């Protein structure tokens, strides 16, 4: 939920040789040597995305598509009612978007996460608790919120990479931006706030988006956190209008 666009850590375990020897001896005694590798080969346990390279830690707004282009971003889902409807509208106009997901929501609805990925959209980490005061919390709290959500989303997606991080309410800190970037997630801002979470009418959402488009390419909508019927209807009107104005659709730069 957009409230504002706000401002701007290891333990190394050392195993003793005696413990290792004892563990190996015990494993051999029970005939289970190599069972861990076998479990991995058989796909037992949660899948994790392959290690990714760090990305730029600055907050991105620009599109990766040249020319007159917009980035559609969808926050606070996935939601079993509204995410499928948003996906249907995006498909109708052949538009790809970035879905900024809440970790527990993704964990609860892995089918929707996989559906988002299968449709060619990209994933964004929107934390565990959607705390818009994260910039006033400890680094350990920020780390837990960001990295636990990333794992939940990637596991729900079957290992697809989370490519962006959006702080709730824009409550970025230098630490959170650096942490996200080190884990392959570009901090993601916005230029156009549809204010669809504030209620009002479909016409009001339309007017807000049209009026703010000169601010930049990244547009913020929501598919979670409440009744998003107005968002669905507004997207169904705005996307063809944007295309008529000569806009194309890309993804935020990484």
Q: Which of 230, 243, 229 is nearest to 204 (CA)?
A: 230
**What SS3 state is found at 198?**
helix
Sign of the alpha-carbon torsion through 82, 73, 190, 158:
positive
| 3-state class (DSSP) for residue 192 | strand
Q: What is the pLDDT of residue 13?
A: 37
CA distance 172 to 82: 27
Q: How far is it, in rounded angstroms, from Cα 18 to Cα 183?
A: 34
Among 75, 76, 79, 125, the active-site one is 75
Q: How confident is the model at residue 157 (pLDDT cuts 50, 70, 90)?
A: very high
pLDDT tens column, 174-213: 999 999 999 999 999 999 999 999 988 999 999 999 999 9
Q: Cα separation of 213 and 206, whole Å? A: 11
123-147: per-residue pLDDT in tens?
999 999 999 999 999 999 999 999 9
| pLDDT tens digits, 217-243 | 999 999 999 999 999 999 999 999 999
Token pair, residue 153, equals 């989303």
- In 3D space, the residue among 229, 190, 188 whose CA is nearest the CA of residue 209 turns out to be 190
Could you confirm whether 75 is annotated as catalytic? Answer: yes
CA distance 50 to 58: 23
Query: How confident is the prediction for the chain on average, in pLDDT?
Result: 85
Residue 20: cis peptide before it, omega within 30 degrees of 0: no
Residue-level pLDDT at 23:
37
Nearest CA among 174, 230, 167 for reference residue 2: 167
Task: Tell me the three state secondary structure of residue 113.
Answer: helix
Nearest to 147, CA basis, from 49, 56, 214: 49
Following DSSP, what letter does each residue of 168-185 receive, concatenated?
GGG---HHHHHHHHHTT-
Residue 105 has pLDDT above 50, yes or no: yes
Residue 155 has pLDDT above 90, yes or no: yes
Summarised one tens digit per residue, pLDDT across range 34-73 is 333 333 333 334 444 456 799 999 999 999 999 999 999 9
Sign of the CA dihedral with 113 first, then 117, 119, and 124 last:
positive
Residue 92 has pLDDT above 60, yes or no: yes
- Which residue carries 């993804």 as its tokens? 251
What are the Cα distances from residue 91, in Å, to 70, 116, 161, 173, 184?
16, 11, 21, 35, 27
The pLDDT of residue 206: 98
Tokens of 187: 């901090």
Q: Which of 109, 126, 183, 222 is catalytic?
A: 222
Concerning whether 121 is annotated as a catalytic residue, the answer is: no
User: Is the confidence at residue 28, as pLDDT, over 60?
Assistant: no
């Amino acid at each position: 939920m957009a409230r504002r666009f706000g401002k701007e850590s290891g333990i190394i375990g050392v195993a003793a040789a005696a413990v290792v020897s004892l563990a190996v001896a015990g494993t051999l005694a029970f005939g289970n040597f190599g069972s861990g590798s076998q479990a991995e080969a058989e796909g037992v346990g949660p899948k994790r995305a392959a290690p990714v390279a760090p990305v730029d830690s600055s907050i991105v707004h620009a599109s990766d598509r040249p020319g007159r282009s917009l980035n559609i971003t969808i926050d606070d889902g996935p939601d079993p009612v509204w995410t499928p409807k948003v996906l249907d509208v995006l498909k109708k106009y052949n538009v790809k978007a970035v879905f900024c997901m809440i970790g527990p929501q993704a964990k609860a609805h892995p089918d929707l996460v996989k559906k988002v990925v299968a449709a060619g959209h990209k994933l964004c980490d929107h934390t565990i608790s959607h705390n818009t005061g994260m910039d006033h919390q400890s680094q350990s709290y920020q780390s837990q919120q960001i990295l636990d959500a990333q794992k939940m989303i990637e596991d729900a997606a079957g290992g697809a990479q989370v490519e962006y991080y959006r702080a709730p309410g824009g409550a970025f800190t230098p630490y959170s931006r650096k942490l996200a970037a080190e884990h392959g997630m570009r901090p993601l801002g916005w230029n156009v706030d549809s204010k669809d979470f504030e209620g009002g009418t479909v016409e009001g959402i339309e007017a807000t988006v049209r009026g703010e488009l000169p601010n930049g390419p990244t547009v913020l909508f929501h598919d979670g956190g409440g009744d998003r019927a107005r968002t669905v209807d507004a997207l169904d009107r705005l996307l063809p209008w944007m295309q008529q104005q000569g806009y194309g659709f890309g993804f935020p730069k990484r």
